[in-house]
Amino acid sequence: MSSSHLRPRTAMAIRARLGFVIVLSLFFSATLSTALYEDQVGLADWHHKYIGKVKHAVFHTQKTGRKRVVVSTEENVVASLDLRTGFIFWRNVLGKNDHIDQVDIALGKYVVTLSSGGSILRAWNLPDGQMIWESTLPVSTPSKSSLYVLANMNVGKDNLILVFGGSSIHALSSMDGQIVWRKELSIDSLEIQQIFQPHDSDIINVVGFVGSSEFVVYQISYRTGEVMQQSKASFESGFCGEASLVFDNLVVALDASKSSLVSISFKNEVINFHQINLSDLVPDFSGKVTLLPLKFNGMLAIEIASSILLLRVKGANELEFVEKISHPFAVSDALPLSKVQQAFAILQHDESKIHFKVKSDNDLRNEILKETIQMDSQRGNIEKVFINNYIRTDRTHGFRFLVVMEDHSLLLIQQGEIVWSREDGLASIVDSTTSELPVEKEGVSVAEVEHNLFEWLKGHLLKLKGTLMLASPDEVAAIQAIRLKSSEKNKMTRDHNGFRKLIIVLTRAGKVLALHTGDGRVVWSVLLPALRRSETCGNPFALRVYQWQVPHHHAMHENPSVLVVGRCGHGFDAPGIFSIVDSYTGKVQNSFILEHSVSHIMPLPLTDSTEQRLHLIIDAKLQAHLYPKNSDSLKHFFNEMPNIYWYSVEVEKNKIKGYSLESKAELDTAEEYVFQAKELWSIIFPSESEKIAVTATRKMNEIVHTQAKVVADQDVMYKYISKNILFVATVSPKAAGEIGSATPEEALLYAYLIDTVSGRILHRVCHQGAQGPVHAVVSENWVVYHYFNLRAHRYEMSVIEIYDQSRADNKDVWKLVLGKHNLTAPVSLYSRPDVMVKSQSYFFTHSVKSMAVTATAKGITSKQLLVGTIGDQVLALDKRFLDPRRSVNPTQSEKEEGIIPLTDSLPIVPQSYITHSLQVEDLRSMVTIPAKLESTTLVFSYGVDLFFTRIAPSRTYDSLTEDFSYALLLITIVVLVAAIFVTWALSEKKELKEKWR
Amino acid sequence: MGSSRGRSLVLFTLSTLLLVSIAGGFQSDELLQDDEEFGLEGGRPAADPALSTPTRPPIRRRPDPDLPSGSPDSKSVQFSLEHQFGGSGFFPAGTFTARLKSWSHGGQTLTKLRFSRNALTEEEKGAFERLLKEDGYYTIRVPSNVLNAPGRDFVISSVRARCIPRESLDEHFIIHTDGVNIVAVNYGSAGACQYPRMLKYPAKWSFTSFTVLKNSEQAPRTPTFAEELLAGEDGLGEGVKPPEKSFWAKYWMYLIPLVFIVLNAMTQAMNMPEEQTAGQSTQAQRTPSTTVRRR
């Protein structure tokens, strides 16, 4: 069986027909591979690539050939996109903390990125994204750093790339990234604002502020970095640090009070200041001003209250008011059209329309281009715009706009139309849940059926040809195409196997999207109004999404809905946001800002009469608020109130506390839905020796099929199954850092199993010489955790299985038959538990990003661990490899039970990567969803990319494979029936002949 | 695994005993005495941590009055137990006494835990009765560090009051320690707690306490098979090789049809003679007719 993936396909199809054979062979097989064939890729899985919210964009359209735009994003991705289609040419995902500061193109062939606070400079090959060189810059203090690529030097020469931040400038060769020179301008607290190079000179001008009141200008040699000239002057009112370079010899800055502008002109070591009062320009001016960081020549943009002003600088002390734009808006950088002309774009929102205006600095009164487009309201406001020009067929300038919207989507607009759009908010999924699709309605038209029947027959004939190896290469391709875009999997109705569902995801931008499991397309999307920046809620962010209403008995006519919980601001005491969204249409049913904060959300296993799930929200003051607020839910809640417990993990304080609800004596009508918490237990980890690294619990919806485990020699062990089991791993504070920061003697890892109702520590074990990062997954009665073993210099996975000894005497079959067992008696967690623990550790080659476990509808199918590896792939590891009962020489009965002989490390079979050849870039989480078919689990993994597939940990023993040829079966039956008739007729004839003889 | 280790431990102790007894009777006596003393103190072996068994039975201790023999590297510590009836504050309820043992490698452990419960006052008894009536929580707490008890945090544990009463008030403490720190205290009834909980008053309003001190277990070392690794890269392949199936398990699908065929053949063979005789008889009948025709 272990090599079954090598067997021919036909053999497998035959095996599939013998379903029960497979069930039986399960007991004998040792390794079950989930590998698939090349032609099966894309049948049940899909992979979507995203890049995240774009921060910077550089167009590369000068040369003939591929027109592209290079972007860097907030997910630390640098990517090259096709300007025509928006597809990704290439993409590189940098590390988690390697934030990109700036991106540019050097020498016309390298993409240069500055990242990690100005300390790493990398060059990527523009056509294919290969890394050309990487340089690490010695930056003492991380500060705001910028990149300046000298563009106008002679082509073919080695141009320099300047990186400046704080008081230092680095000049690097763009050919190989070598540091050519380095200049530390020896003044403390110097903040370099700008570097620029006057046309065709060997001198670089550097302007900056020293402290808050002094302005400095340096002239530095381009070749050597030598300071040629230096001048400074101080301004008594001081500066706030914002400045904008207007001309080669004029800087406009904001003064310390942020209420007036200062123009600073410098020429030949003479620096002049001119204070410009804004009230002269704007009559009703009051409040604070901010300078927009835009690159304009001779212009500047300032933001006052909720509008921006465009000002034209005519001289050192003369500003001209050009235009006032009110929110919401976006202004692009200036784009040089010719040596004397530059253009910039102003985008303005007007309800669902966006007005595009392109202006040239020669003629500010009129627009070069004016367009209006209709925009989907679910994309929110414009956040950023990048502008690029092209020459039209009539030799005039045309413009295209790359627009970043509030929901992080990216659009390219040209000629008043959306050329392409990318839903890049999906690169930052915060949480996800699933929803069933609607049941198929009666009354499907006959024509459709006939069409389907014909297609069906044709498809099966083709398949039959394929199986009989009669198909030509064209037909093989046609078969593959039919299989890939089978309309069956993309239907918007519930299917018999439960493969078709909606995955409802919540993104960081506050957008909720429903993805179809068939092909991952967006069914609907909604940018939640409650999670958008507003007057009442300045800094909202999305927390979680839960199932709010899942109608199946009482409210069948209603659509299911999901609950989105957010928070206004990042503090724990910030008020919460509540939004209920229809799962089928994406309509926001209800949305409001809570009066209390949200620190913990508990979906209760209770529903009210309309099947709305009861949720208990714990605020920062330890008060529990019940939702939905109606008397019916309150009635249901009171019945279960004495049995509601919860816990909180306080990582900073190294504490875990357990709570229950205080029974209320008097009912205050206003506070009817508010309950007080009562602290029941606490566990305090000594801060000098332990620090909480990870906690893990069982999934609330997990189903366990058998409570008992039959071990060899017909013995029974009862699993300790409790939904309230909490796994906590603590590491010694010294070993909390990176691997290698502590010696094996200092590093300790404690693993705890805690019952969260009574606060009992069921098991506590110490791993010496082990340290984090720890990843853990809890399921049924076991926990598997992954950590680093410093003594063995390897990663390790440990398994703890916990068994209930108090029921161990329930082995008598007669007692079971006569009903005299106590298996159905209620179990109280206040009883003293009598547990037995089995554990074992194994080496594991990979480091791990996240871990999950498969879940099936009834819990009968054996489990697989899903391991998100460092290479952003998902590995399915059979749980039987992590059996603590594995021994070196298993006895015959143990072998029959399926126990694998003990090995010191866990095998990594290449075929068991469920992502096969794909990578889920920046993999963050894996979600398993049970399908209706018991053998199958749906797996949705997300990071920057999305990947969905379905896996069968014990093979699809309960259904025929997808490529099973029904036509072959039909033909066989027909042929058999025909043969029966023919032989019958023949025998009749013969008999007659006999009789006539 | 554990048993084999235990066996080797016994073997080791026996062999050392043997060695020592060979060296001289006097010393062996001392070793035995030492062992016994540690056994009395809760089964903790001597300073060598390598000797400690991975699964040590919990130290079960009942309050007993005899005083320990003072040893230089241990000192006595006391910390108090406080309790709470429902909403009111915490009141002293008893005192734990333990010996703090310092090890040569710097660690400290608590051993010889003793507990003395204060008798319930009338007021407390009333409060407890009220708790029983309303099925409330009886909460206890101990300091999280035994050395500077007053300033430290407290670890808390609660139980439904109705779980405690049996003949007397039976309680059971498990104190999880880490050196001088108390990580958690698990408090509950001495046995099972029935559900649904019935209102029941104890016959005797006094506590019977059982206390257990628990340290963390050492995880077993990951097994390493150096010899297999040396043997070659097939170590891994060998590990995942499926267990050898029995003949029947392998070939049953062929065997059953074979049996059928054999059975079929046998029945046919059984029928054959009959048919033959039948055939012969027809032939016999036919032959005369032909002869008749010929005639």
pTM confidence score:
0.81
Q: Give domain status of residue B249, yes or no.
A: no
Beta carbons of B144 and A681 less than 8 Å apart: no
Question: Once rounded to an integer, what is the mean pLDDT over residues A684-710?
Answer: 88
User: Is B283 at the interface with chain A, CB within 8 A?
Assistant: no
Residue of chain A with shortest Cα separation from B197: A828
Beta carbons of A685 and B176 less than 8 Å apart: no
**CA-based nearest distance B13→chain A, Å:** 25
| Cross-strand pairs, B36 | none
pLDDT confidence tier of residue B117, bands split at 50, 70 and 90: confident
Write out residues 774-833 of A within 8 Å (CB-CB) of B: 789, 792, 796, 798, 806, 826-828, 830-832
Please say whether the beta carbons of A179 and A137 come within 8 A. Answer: yes
Give the integer Cα–Cα distance in Å for A842 and A953.
21
Residues of B in contact with A30 (CB under 8 A): 240-243
The DSSP symbol for A639 reads: H
In the numeric block, the tokens 């801060």 are attached to A687
Is it the case that residue A813 has pLDDT exceeding 90?
Answer: no
Write out residues 716-735 of A within 8 Å (CB-CB) of B: none
Q: Give the angle B202-B203-B207 at the CA atoms, nearest 5°.
A: 60
User: What does the pLDDT look like over B75-84, one tens digit per residue?
Assistant: 888 888 999 8
Predicted local confidence at residue B149, as pLDDT = 52
Give the integer Cα–Cα distance in Å for B189 and A830.
7
pLDDT confidence tier of residue B23, bands split at 50, 70 and 90: very low
Beta carbons of B242 and A905 less than 8 Å apart: no
Please say whether the beta carbons of A967 and A467 come within 8 A. Answer: no
Give the integer Cα–Cα distance in Å for B218 and B2.
12
Residues of A in contact with B2 (CB under 8 A): none
User: What does the pLDDT look like over A101-149, one tens digit per residue?
Assistant: 889 888 888 899 998 888 889 999 988 999 999 998 887 666 677 888 7
Q: Give domain status of residue B246, yes or no.
A: no
In the numeric block, the tokens 């990398």 are attached to A122
**CA-based nearest distance B208→chain A, Å:** 16
Question: Once rounded to an integer, what is the mean pLDDT over residues A469-486?
Answer: 75
Instruction: Give the helix/strand (H/E) hosting B257.
Output: helix B247-294
Instruction: Give the helix/strand (H/E) hosting A334.
Output: none
Identify which of B183, B196, B242 has the shortest CB distance to residue A686.
B183
Predicted local confidence at residue A340, as pLDDT = 76
**CA-based nearest distance A855→chain B, Å:** 24
What percent of chain B lies above the pLDDT cut of 70?
Answer: 58
Write out residues 650-679 of A within 8 Å (CB-CB) of B: 655, 660, 662-663, 678-679
Write out residues 683-702 of A within 8 Å (CB-CB) of B: 683-686, 689-690
Nearest to B100 by CA among B153, B145, B143: B145
Q: How is residue A168 written in tokens?
A: 């230092």
Predicted local confidence at residue A350, as pLDDT = 81
Question: Once rounded to an integer, what is the mean pLDDT over residues A555-578?
Answer: 85
Give the integer Cα–Cα distance in Å for A963 and A167.
67
What percent of chain A lies above the pLDDT cut of 90?
Answer: 29
Predicted local confidence at residue A669, as pLDDT = 56
pLDDT confidence tier of residue A392, bands split at 50, 70 and 90: confident
Task: Name the pairing type of β-strands A335-336 and A250-255.
Answer: unpaired
Predicted local confidence at residue B293, as pLDDT = 45
In the numeric block, the tokens 């993994």 are attached to A941
pLDDT confidence tier of residue B289, bands split at 50, 70 and 90: very low
Amino acid symbol at B73: D
Identify which of A660, A843, A887 has the shortest CB distance to residue B222.
A843
Residues of B in contact with A681 (CB under 8 A): 155-158, 184
The DSSP symbol for B216 reads: P
Please state the separation of Cα A767 from the chain's center in Å: 32
Is it the case that residue A231 has pLDDT exceeding 80?
Answer: yes
Give the integer Cα–Cα distance in Å for A360 and A345.
9
Nearest to A467 by CA among A979, A33, A972: A972
Question: Once rounded to an integer, what is the mean pLDDT over residues A907-911?
Answer: 88
Identify which of A683, A832, A888 has the shortest CB distance to residue B191.
A832
Predicted local confidence at residue A662, as pLDDT = 82
Predicted local confidence at residue A956, as pLDDT = 80
Q: How is residue A697 written in tokens?
A: 């619990």
Predicted local confidence at residue A29, as pLDDT = 40
For chain B, the domain total comes to 1
User: What does the pLDDT look like over A257-294, one tens digit per residue?
Assistant: 777 788 888 877 788 888 877 777 776 666 777 777 77
Please say whether the beta carbons of A640 and A691 come within 8 A. Answer: no
Least confident of A178-192, A733-747, B162-176: A178-192
Q: Which of B142, B158, B290 has the most A C-beta neighbours within 10 Å, making it the best mutation to test the interface with A?
A: B158
Is it the case that residue B107 has pLDDT exceeding 90?
Answer: no
Beta carbons of A842 and B196 less than 8 Å apart: no
Question: Once rounded to an integer, what is the mean pLDDT over residues B163-182?
Answer: 86
Residues of B in contact with A690 (CB under 8 A): 178
Give the integer Cα–Cα distance in Å for A174 and A153.
12
Name every residue whose Cβ is closer than 8 Å to that of residue B32 and which is 6 or more positions away in sequence.
B17
Write out residues 120-149 of B within 8 Å (CB-CB) of A: 134-135, 137, 139, 144-145
Please say whether the beta carbons of A615 and A586 come within 8 A. Answer: no
User: What does the pLDDT look like over A351-383, one tens digit per residue?
Assistant: 788 888 888 877 777 788 888 888 888 888 888
Is it the case that residue B279 has pLDDT exceeding 50?
Answer: no
Nearest to A321 by CA among A263, A280, A359, A367: A280
Predicted local confidence at residue A312, as pLDDT = 81
Give the integer Cα–Cα distance in Å for A389 and A279.
36
Q: Give domain status of residue B145, yes or no.
A: yes
Q: Give domain status of residue B171, yes or no.
A: yes
Residues of A in contact with B220 (CB under 8 A): 839-841
* Alpha helices per DSSP H over B183-246: 226-231, 234-239
Is it the case that residue B51 has pLDDT exceeding 50?
Answer: no
In the numeric block, the tokens 């409802």 are attached to A504
Q: Give domain status of residue B229, yes or no.
A: no
Predicted local confidence at residue A823, as pLDDT = 63
In the numeric block, the tokens 């070993």 are attached to A735
**CA-based nearest distance A660→chain B, Å:** 10
pLDDT confidence tier of residue B73, bands split at 50, 70 and 90: low
Amino acid symbol at A870: I
**CA-based nearest distance B242→chain A, Å:** 5
> For residue B111, what are the domain limits?
76-215
Give the integer Cα–Cα distance in Å for A48 and A429.
13
Beta carbons of B242 and A30 less than 8 Å apart: yes
Give the integer Cα–Cα distance in Å for B166 and B209.
12
Is it the case that residue B170 has pLDDT exceeding 80?
Answer: yes
Q: Give domain status of residue B125, yes or no.
A: yes
Q: Order of strands across the sheet with A540-549?
A: A540-549, A561-568, A575-582, A588-597
Identify which of B197, B242, B244 has the shortest CB distance to residue A2.
B242
Predicted local confidence at residue B151, as pLDDT = 56
In the numeric block, the tokens 């290698």 are attached to A740
Q: Which of B83, B110, B145, B156 has the most A C-beta neighbours within 10 Å, making it the best mutation to test the interface with A?
A: B156
pLDDT confidence tier of residue A863, bands split at 50, 70 and 90: very high
Predicted local confidence at residue A151, as pLDDT = 59
Q: Give domain status of residue B155, yes or no.
A: yes
Residues of B in contact with A751 (CB under 8 A): 219
Please state the separation of Cα A233 from the chain's center in Å: 50
User: Is B108 at the interface with chain A, CB within 8 A?
Assistant: no
Give the integer Cα–Cα distance in Å for B85 and B131.
7
Please say whether the beta carbons of A413 and A560 come within 8 A. Answer: no
Q: Give domain status of residue B43, yes or no.
A: no
Predicted local confidence at residue B105, as pLDDT = 73
Give the integer Cα–Cα distance in Å for A776 and A752.
12
Strand extents, DSSP E, A174-235: 179-184, 190-196, 203-210, 214-221, 227-234
Is it the case that residue A59 has pLDDT exceeding 70?
Answer: yes
Better-predicted residue by pLDDT, B276 or A682: A682
How large is the ipTM? Answer: 0.78
Predicted local confidence at residue A77, as pLDDT = 93
Name every residue whose Cβ is closer than 8 Å to that of residue A519 and which is 6 or more positions away in sequence.
A46, A489, A490
B208 three-class SS: strand
Residue of chain B with shortest Cα separation from A894: B243
CA-CA-CA-CA torsion sign (A279, A282, A283, A284): negative
Q: How is residue B86 written in tokens?
A: 């429902």
Burial class (CB in 10 A: 0-12, 13-18, 19+), A664: middle
